[in-house]
Structure 1
Amino acid sequence: MKNDLSEVLNQLKEASHGLLWISESEEPFEVFVWENEAQEDLNDRTLLSHLDRANTSVETQDFDLFFATATQIQDWQNEEERAIVHQYQQLAVALKQHLRDLKVYRIGEVNISVYILGKTEAGHIAGLVTQAVET
């Protein structure tokens, strides 16, 4: 199972390589995993507890809704922007291929930690984390 987890993490690293989440800042994605949490349910309380941020505001967002803007080709986009959209589309596919029960957790209010998490086939909590600044 360790090899399966390593493969999932490698696939997510590859799919997110070079992508930046755009907000008032541009931040990279990092792969995130809790290897020993296979039997634990993923919810707001669980996440905040593991991050030692128990009294922090958290918003749960639908995975597809979170990626909707980033994965849509627009008429006004140039070739470079369309290539980035294509990479976001590939990232969304990779996340859906390797993780189930995907959710996005936005923790904080101005400097927001964004966790895109789900469970691996073996039940480990894994995904991506990035930062967003929204004033």
Structure 2
Amino acid sequence: MARRKKKIKNAKKPDSNTDELAKQIKKVSKGLYYISETDAEIFPFIGNKAEAVTVKEVLKQTERVAETPVEERDFTEFFTHLTQIQDWFGEEEMAMAQKFSDLKDLLEKNLKDLKVFKVGKIQLDIYVVGLNTENNLMGIQTEAVET
């Protein structure tokens, strides 16, 4: 599946803190894929200033209509199945779970009010976002297919 990046309308040039965090997210998420009925790459999401992390704000910053279906999920719950070690894991699965744990830690350390938004039906865009120190909406984005 080709990755689809949503362009942010009127996005301002990121400040140095935002730019640095985006680089860290890109580095930590390199090689990570969100597994659903398809495997989708995980990459940084950099938005604009926001007063709060809300469905309305995410739809606005991803240029979606207000009627677009959105499911809000808990940040910790989202990462639980990605970071949980199973007794059948081999080295590759263990390394992947650790990378997801590192990504979760990076987001928690640098962003506040973290939330997960699944946007759309069946073919979903997933945004795991919070506010950085400059109140920019940022985090990660990926895709999923859920039938």
State the TM-score, normalized to the length of structure 2: 0.86
Q: Which residue of 1 aligns with 2:16?
A: 3
Q: Which residue of 2 aligns with 1:72?
A: 84
TM-superposed deviation, 1:52: 2.9
Q: Which residue of 2 aligns with 1:61?
A: 73
- Cα deviation code 1:17-64 (max 9, x no counterpart): 1100000000001211123x1x43220112112323221110111100
- Cα deviation code 1:58-95 (max 9, x no counterpart): 01111000010110111011111111111111110011
Q: Which residue of 1 aligns with 2:11?
A: none
1:93 and 2:128 correspond: no
Where does structure 1 differ by over 6 angstroms across 4 or more consecutive aligned residues? none
Which shifted more, 81-90 or 40-49?
Answer: 40-49
5+ long unaligned stretches in structure 1: none
5+ long unaligned stretches in structure 2: 1-13
- Which of 9, 15, 31 is 2:44 aligned to? 31
Q: How many equivalent residue pairs?
A: 133
- Cα deviation code 1:74-125 (max 9, x no counterpart): 1011111111111111110011111111000001120010000001011111
Q: Distance in 2 between matches of 1:88 and 1:42?
A: 22
Q: Which residue of 1 aligns with 2:29?
A: 16
Q: Distance in 2 between matches of 1:52 and 1:93?
A: 29
- Identity percentage over the alignment? 35
| SS of aligned partner of 2:82 | coil
- Which of 27, 43, 46 is 2:57 aligned to? 46
Code of the aligned partner of 1:17:
K
Code of the aligned partner of 1:41:
A
Q: Distance in 2 between matches of 1:57 and 1:21?
A: 20
Code of the aligned partner of 2:53:
L
1:128 and 2:140 correspond: yes
State the TM-score, normalized to the length of structure 1: 0.93
Q: Which residue of 1 aligns with 2:5?
A: none
Code of the aligned partner of 1:84:
M
